[in-house]
């Protein structure tokens, strides 16, 4: 992936400013249609999901009181995992987007909702709703791109530490909720600052307040999963099995939400943008266009959409973040028709290829530009030697070798194109 | 999650019992965090003590073609009411929770149920919903009874009630209460009941039965039959009007005229006013008043957020384009217009959520005057 402005073929070059505004008007009309028909069936939907989720969680936790018995452990852990996924994805994420604020129910409202996650809703609403949804896929501005710890773009200069980024990505997936909490606190950015600034940043009263809030939230969550419920299970000898079940459910939820979120903006075919290329006063049409090209969907069954919190309709979600999630499926064909009309790429694949594509990119970008392209079975030993040199050499060596690699890959591409 | 003032007595009680009970409560809350035990119990027993006040509809009895009595079983924390008081109910209409006030039409009943009688008014979304669409079994949200349109104790010897249209609703509550007692009250009651026409006269059979039994003197006035009520004829309709303790309930026009009539004669009159249906005269731009008293003027094209910040008001904010919900504030009263699609949102005290209607200040401009709780 290369930012859209540096691409040889800009996928938006064929659109005139008038086209972009017309496209914006068409999307506004789709949004308005949903607003006009929003009503009882939608509110009944979210109330039902909330009710089912609560009963599923309660039931699973009740079964886990007897988790010393292996079948109870399996059933309870599976139920709790599903309940936690529903709670975070279809309920928490969407309620905090204000998708259900129109119901005027103070219990299901973006200003009052708190979720089963390490990050308090207040911080998450800032980093996710405000930063990520406003600056979607702008390199250096949207921290969701690589969460600040990964190389996600060819234009980011390669450094040997990126070699381990697949491992980082996997560890982050396992502890994703804590990763998000750290990310909401901008902890990574703070830690990368020079020592003096870092200390000042850590002492900032606003940072301290948010850090305290996050720690309190984590303590509450951990007390529930690793103290209270195991103790409640202790009379049946199920203390440790319950503790393990809760840990497994949290990891399952983390791996799942990490996968879904990777599919939203990472797969091949999704565009990124340079801050300098975004007009100061971005029009509604231009903003829509950036959301369209910066997101990717997961195709699949109704169950898949529910379990992803309808983030499988990431494109529709990014265009209309405040529309009720249960309506994304029905607007998707209309949105896709707009993509086709304006000759744009609607990036949608089933879960497995989409996750593969995202991971493939993580691996590819962990290596210097051109290395993967120029490597085949025969030259593997020499390429590995080259990689070793790149990883251990000084900055100048690295620059020279990377440049040579890029030239070689380019020549190879031109040769293939000619053939 | 949010705990309202309703739960306060419960908390006080449990704190007094202290010890074990509050510790068990803390343990239960810790087991279901980030929810509270109440959130979980609400799924199973929404009418219990200690939670937000709700009611279950037990019956919907048609009164006329466009009026119905809704009988409600209130939650355990219902404090009770005096006949003549009104009740604020929160009803989900097309998925949106709307609040309205209605008079309670039953005195305290042995089964503990309460009732409101609703007349569907033209364009009244809530009244139409209550009269024609609600079914027994559904839940509605309640506030405690309020209002001082109640009979004094002891009850005066001679009473006059003047009611017009659905103005009969608080009065029927008073009458039912008086005549449900084992011993009939020794009070001489005249009821002057004004209606447009006979078919839309709510409770007419019940009132006539009271009249025939000699319990009240009923004077029925129908506009289509008798012409508009002429106050010059009041003394003709109720000859001993000057000696009666008077209560009146109905539309503002009638009440204003009656108050004038009583004032002229130096007599006292207690009234209950029904709010006229809200007419949204949504203008372009207007003044935004904040809780601290600051007033900011904004035109119809400037978001409240921008106007307030320009005037030096410290505002919560976020994406500034309507997507992040970082700028949401409760509007207590007034109207705003969504700058993206022109939609109007209105808040009327007593008719909308008691906490106000939450609006996004970054994409809404004032449409007339509005009050923000911030």
Look at the block and give the residue holding tokens 């879904």.
Answer: A260
Alpha-carbon distance of A39 to B93, in angstroms, equals 8
Judged by a CB distance cut-off of 8 A, whether residue A222 touches chain B is no
Q: Which of B6, B325, B351 to mutate to test the interface with A (most CBs of A within 10 A)?
A: B325
As averages over each run of 10 residues, the pLDDT of chain A (419 residues) reads 76 94 97 96 98 98 98 98 98 97 94 96 92 88 73 87 94 95 83 77 87 96 98 97 98 97 91 86 93 96 98 97 97 98 96 95 94 93 95 93 92 89
For residues B281-295, give the mean pLDDT: 86
Residue A341 and residue A405 in one domain: no
* CA-based nearest distance A142→chain B, Å: 13
Asked if B326 and A129 come within 8 Å (Cβ–Cβ), the reply is yes
Residue A277 and residue A408 in one domain: no
Query: Is the per-residue pLDDT at B144 higher than 90?
Result: yes
| Residue of B168, B199, B194, B190 whose CA lies nearest to B103 | B168
Asked if A322 and B319 come within 8 Å (Cβ–Cβ), the reply is no
* CA-based nearest distance A36→chain B, Å: 10
Q: Name, in order, each residue with C-beta under 8 angstroms of A76's C-beta and a sequence gap of 6 or more.
A: A60, A61, A63, A64, A67, A245
Domain-located, residue A353: no
Domain-located, residue A137: yes
The residue segments making up the domain with residue A293 are 17-348
Q: Strands B357-360 and B269-273: what pairing?
A: unpaired
Please name the helix (run of DSSP H) or strand (run of DSSP E) that holds residue B159, with its range, or none: strand B158-164
Residue A400 and residue A263 in one domain: no
Residue A332 and residue A381 in one domain: no
Q: Name, in order, each residue with C-beta under 8 angstroms of A99's C-beta and a sequence gap of 6 or more.
A: A321, A322, A323, A324, A325
* CA-based nearest distance A130→chain B, Å: 5
* CA-based nearest distance A381→chain B, Å: 51
| Residue of B40, B13, B42, B43 whose CA lies nearest to B28 | B40
Query: Cβ–Cβ contacts within 10 Å for residue B4, how many?
Result: 13
Asked if A40 and B95 come within 8 Å (Cβ–Cβ), the reply is yes
Residue of chain A minimizing CA distance to B29 = A224
Domain-located, residue A355: no
Asked if A223 and B30 come within 8 Å (Cβ–Cβ), the reply is yes
Residue A71 and residue A140 in one domain: yes
Q: Chain A contacts of B34, Cβ < 8 Å?
A: 114-116, 217, 220-221
Please name the helix (run of DSSP H) or strand (run of DSSP E) that holds residue B206, with its range, or none: helix B204-212
Q: Give me the DSSP letters along B47-78.
A: TSTTS--EEEEEEEEEEETTEEEEEEEE-TT-
Residue A382 and residue A259 in one domain: no
Domain-located, residue A79: yes
Alpha-carbon distance of B242 to A62, in angstroms, equals 71
Look at the block and give the residue holding tokens 């009638």.
Answer: B254
Q: Strands B357-360 and B328-338: what pairing?
A: antiparallel
CATH classification for the domain delimited by B54-142, as one of 2.120.10.30, 2.40.30.10, 3.90.660.10, 3.30.9.10: 2.40.30.10
Alpha-carbon distance of B111 to B80, in angstroms, equals 12
Q: Which of B323, B326, B329, B355 to mutate to test the interface with A (most CBs of A within 10 A)?
A: B323
Q: Chain B contacts of A104, Cβ < 8 Å?
A: 96-98, 352-353, 357-358
pLDDT digits (tens, 9 = 90+) for B173-199: 999 989 887 777 789 999 999 999 999
Alpha-carbon distance of A127 to A125, in angstroms, equals 6
Domain-located, residue A85: yes
> What is the number of structural domains in chain A?
2
- Reduce the secondary structure of chain A to three states and give it as a string: CCEHHHCCCCCCCCCCHHHHHHHHHHHHHHHHHHHHHCCHHHHHHHHHHHHHHHHHHHHHHHHHCCCCCHHHHHHHHHHHHHHHHHHHHHHHHHHHCCCCHHHCCCCCCCCCCCCCCCCCHHHHHHHHHHHHHHCCCECCCCCCCHHHCCCCCCCCCCCHHHHHHHHHHHHHHHCHHHHHHHHHCCHHHHHCCCHHHHHHHHHCHHHHHHHHHHHHHHHHHHHHHHHHHHHHHHHHCCHHHHHHHHHHHHHHHHHHHHHHHHHHHCCCCCCEECHHHCCCCCCHHHHHHHHHHCCCEEECCHHHHHHCCCHHHHHHHHHCCCCCHHHHHHHHHHHHHHHHHCCCCCCEEEHHHHHHHHHHHHHHHHCCCCCCCCCCCCCHHHHHHHHHHHHHCCHHHHHHHHHHHHHHHHHHHHHHHHC
Q: Which of A35, A39, A61, A98 to mutate to test the interface with B (most CBs of B within 10 A)?
A: A98
Query: Is the per-residue pLDDT at B278 higher than 60?
Result: no
* CA-based nearest distance A40→chain B, Å: 4
Alpha-carbon distance of A185 to A207, in angstroms, equals 7
Asked if B328 and A232 come within 8 Å (Cβ–Cβ), the reply is no
Residue A247 and residue A377 in one domain: no
Structure-derived torsion over alpha carbons of residues A258, A259, A262, A263, reported in degrees to the nearest 10: -150
Residue A182 and residue A271 in one domain: yes
Cα distance between the two ends of chain B: 20
CATH classification for the domain delimited by B158-272, as one of 3.90.1140.10, 3.40.50.80, 3.20.20.80, 3.40.50.410: 3.40.50.80
Judged by a CB distance cut-off of 8 A, whether residue A141 touches chain B is no
Alpha-carbon distance of A226 to A213, in angstroms, equals 20
Please name the helix (run of DSSP H) or strand (run of DSSP E) that holds residue B222, with its range, or none: strand B217-222
The order of strands in the sheet holding B188-195 is B217-222, B188-195, B158-164, B245-250, B269-273
Output the CA torsion sign for B191, B194, B198, B199: negative
pLDDT of residue A146: 67
> Looking at the DSSP assignment, which residues form a beta bridge with residue B114?
B72
Task: Tell me which of A251-255, B277-281, B304-308 is least confident.
Answer: B277-281
pLDDT of residue B6: 42
Residue A194 and residue A261 in one domain: yes
Residue of chain B minimizing CA distance to A123 = B326
Residue A181 and residue A281 in one domain: yes
Output the CA torsion sign for A159, A160, A162, A168: negative
For residues B79-86, give the mean pLDDT: 94
| Chain mean pLDDT for chain B | 89
Q: Name, in order, each residue with C-beta under 8 angstroms of A131's C-beta and a sequence gap of 6 or more.
A: A141, A142, A143
- CB-nearest to A220 from B33, B322, B352 is B33
Domain-located, residue A361: no
* CA-based nearest distance B133→chain A, Å: 12
* More confident call, A176 vs B284: A176
Judged by a CB distance cut-off of 8 A, whether residue A130 touches chain B is yes
* CA-based nearest distance A41→chain B, Å: 7
Asked if A125 and B324 come within 8 Å (Cβ–Cβ), the reply is yes
Structure-derived torsion over alpha carbons of residues A333, A336, A338, A343, reported in degrees to the nearest 10: -150
Residue A386 and residue A243 in one domain: no
Q: How confident is the model at residue B312 (pLDDT cuts 50, 70, 90)?
A: confident
Query: For residue B105, what is the DSSP state?
Result: -
Q: How confident is the model at residue B150 (pLDDT cuts 50, 70, 90)?
A: very high
Asked if A35 and B341 come within 8 Å (Cβ–Cβ), the reply is yes
CATH superfamily of the domain spanning B286-372: Beta-grasp domain (3.10.20.30)
Alpha helices for B220-298 (secondary structure H): 223-226, 234-237, 252-264
Domain-located, residue A261: yes
Q: Name, in order, each residue with C-beta under 8 angstroms of A385's C-beta and a sequence gap of 6 or more.
A: none
Domain-located, residue A318: yes
| Residue of A361, A325, A413, A407 whose CA lies nearest to A154 | A361
For the record, the structure tokens of A80 come out as: 């709790």
* Residue that is last in its domain, among A316, A348, A380: A348
Residue of chain B minimizing CA distance to A122 = B326
The size of chain B, in residues, is 374
Residue A149 and residue A241 in one domain: yes
Domains of chain B, by residue range, sit at 19-44, 54-142, 158-272, 286-372
Query: Is the per-residue pLDDT at B321 higher than 80?
Result: yes
* CA-based nearest distance A97→chain B, Å: 6
Asked if B323 and A221 come within 8 Å (Cβ–Cβ), the reply is no
Alpha-carbon distance of A315 to A293, in angstroms, equals 8
pLDDT of residue B277: 47
Chain B: residues touching A (Cβ < 8 Å): 1-2, 27, 30-35, 39-40, 43, 92, 94-98, 318-319, 321-326, 328, 340-341, 343, 352-353, 355, 357-358, 360
């Amino acid at each position: 992936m290369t930012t859209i402005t540096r691409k040889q073929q800009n996928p938006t070059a064929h659109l005139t400013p008038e086209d972009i505004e017309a496209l914006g008007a068409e999307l506004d009309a789709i949004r308005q249609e949903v607003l006009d028909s929003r009503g009882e069936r939608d509110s009944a939907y979210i109330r039902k999901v909330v009710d089912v989720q609560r009963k599923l969680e309660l039931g699973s936790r009740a079964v886990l009181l007897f988790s010393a018995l292996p079948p109870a452990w399996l059933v309870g852990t599976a139920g709790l995992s599903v309940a936690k996924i529903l709670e975070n994805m279809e309920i928490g994420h969407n309620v905090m987007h204000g998708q259900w604020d129109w119901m005027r129910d103070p219990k299901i409202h973006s200003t009052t909702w708190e979720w089963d996650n390490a990050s308090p809703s207040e911080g998450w609403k800032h980093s996710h709703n405000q930063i990520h949804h406003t600056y979607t896929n702008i390199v250096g501005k949207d921290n969701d791109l690589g969460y600040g710890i990964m190389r996600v773009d060819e234009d980011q200069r390669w450094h040997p530490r990126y070699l381990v980024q697949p491992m980082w990505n996997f560890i982050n997936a396992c502890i994703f909720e804590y990763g998000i909490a750290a990310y909401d606190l901008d902890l990574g950015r703070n830690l990368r600052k020079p020592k003096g600034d870092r200390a000042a940043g850590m002492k900032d009263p606003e940072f301290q307040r948010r850090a305290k809030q996050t720690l309190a939230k984590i303590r509450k969550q951990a007390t529930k999963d690793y103290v209270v419920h195991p103790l409640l299970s202790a009379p049946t000898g199920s203390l440790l099995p319950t503790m393990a079940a809760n840990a497994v459910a949290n990891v399952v939820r983390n791996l799942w939400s990490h996968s879904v979120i990777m599919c939203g903006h990472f797969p091949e075919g999704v565009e990124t943008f340079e801050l300098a290329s975004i007009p100061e006063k971005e029009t509604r049409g231009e903003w829509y266009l950036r959301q369209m090209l910066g997101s990717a969907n997961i195709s699949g069954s109704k169950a898949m959409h529910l379990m992803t919190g309808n983030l499988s309709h990431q494109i529709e979600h990014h265009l209309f973040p405040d529309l009720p999630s249960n309506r994304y499926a029905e607007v998707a064909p209309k949105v896709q028709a707009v993509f086709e009309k304006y000759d744009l790429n609607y990036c949608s694949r089933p879960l497995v290829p989409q996750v593969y594509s995202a991971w493939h990119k993580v691996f590819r970008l962990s290596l210097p530009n051109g290395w993967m392209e120029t490597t085949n079975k025969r030259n593997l030993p020499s390429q590995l030697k080259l990689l070793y040199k790149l990883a251990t050499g000084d900055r100048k060596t690295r620059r020279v070798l990377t440049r040579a690699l890029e030239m070689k890959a380019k020549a190879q591409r031109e040769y293939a194109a000619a053939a | 999650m949010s705990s309202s003032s309703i739960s306060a007595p419960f908390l006080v009680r449990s704190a007094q019992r202290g010890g074990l009970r509050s510790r068990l409560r803390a343990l239960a809350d810790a087991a279901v965090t980030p929810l509270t035990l109440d959130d979980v119990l609400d799924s199973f027993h929404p009418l219990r003590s200690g939670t937000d006040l709700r009611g279950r509809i037990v019956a919907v009895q048609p009164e006329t073609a466009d009026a119905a009595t809704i009988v409600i079983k209130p939650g355990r924390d219902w404090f009770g009411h005096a006949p003549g008081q009104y009740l604020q109910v929160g009803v989900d209409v097309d998925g949106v929770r709307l609040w309205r006030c209605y008079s309670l039409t039953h005195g305290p009943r042995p089964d503990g149920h309460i009732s409101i009688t609703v007349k569907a008014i033209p364009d009244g979304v809530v009244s139409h919903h209550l009269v024609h669409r609600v079914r027994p079994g559904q839940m509605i949200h309640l506030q405690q009874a309020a209002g001082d349109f109640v009979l004094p104790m002891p009850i005066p010897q001679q009473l006059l009630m003047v009611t017009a249209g659905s103005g009969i609703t608080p009065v029927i509550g008073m009458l039912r209460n008086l005549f449900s007692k084992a011993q009939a009250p020794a009070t001489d009651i005249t009821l002057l009941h004004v209606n447009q026409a006979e078919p839309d006269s709510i409770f007419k059979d019940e009132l006539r039965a009271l009249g025939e039994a000699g319990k009240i003197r009923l004077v029925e006035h129908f506009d289509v039959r008798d012409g508009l009520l002429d106050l010059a004829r009041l003394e003709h309709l109720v000859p001993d009007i000057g000696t009666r303790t008077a209560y009146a309930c109905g539309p503002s026009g009638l009440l204003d005229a009656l108050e004038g009539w009583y004032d002229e004669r130096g007599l006292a009159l207690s009234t209950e006013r029904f709010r006229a249906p809200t007419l949204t005269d949504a203008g372009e731009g207007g003044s935004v008043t904040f809780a601290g008293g600051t007033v900011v003027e904004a035109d119809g094209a400037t978001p409240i957020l921008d106007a307030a910040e320009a005037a030096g008001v410290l505002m919560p904010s976020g994406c500034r384009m309507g997507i992040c919900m970082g700028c949401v504030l409760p509007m207590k009263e007034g109207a705003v217009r969504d700058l993206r699609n022109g939609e109007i949102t209105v808040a009327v005290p007593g008719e909308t959520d008691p906490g106000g209607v939450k609006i996004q200040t970054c994409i809404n401009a004032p449409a007339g005057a509005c009050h923000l709780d911030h």
